[in-house]
Amino acid sequence: PAPKPEPKKTHSVAAGESLDRIARIYGVDANALRAANPNVNFNSLKAGDKVSVPLNLMLDCINTAAAVSSPSI
């Protein structure tokens, strides 16, 4: 069987948004977001462009935040 596509969120770029801004919106690493979108030219984003934010990037961020904020016993 064919591999299942990775779950992702599709972000529609708004006017003036940058790679860093989109990464901050979703709480993900900008370099990881760039790597997940090899066909997107982040140097010339335009309103309406589509950027995929893989679910695993968002989960990594959530898991890291939970680990940092959990008190040690």
pLDDT tens digits for range 32-60: 999 999 999 999 999 999 999 988 766 55
SS3 14: coil
Task: Decide if pLDDT at 14 tops 90.
Answer: yes
- pLDDT of the residue at 61: 54
d(CA 17, CA 42): 10
Burial class (CB within 10 angstroms; exposed 0-12, middle 13-18, buried 19+) of 67: exposed
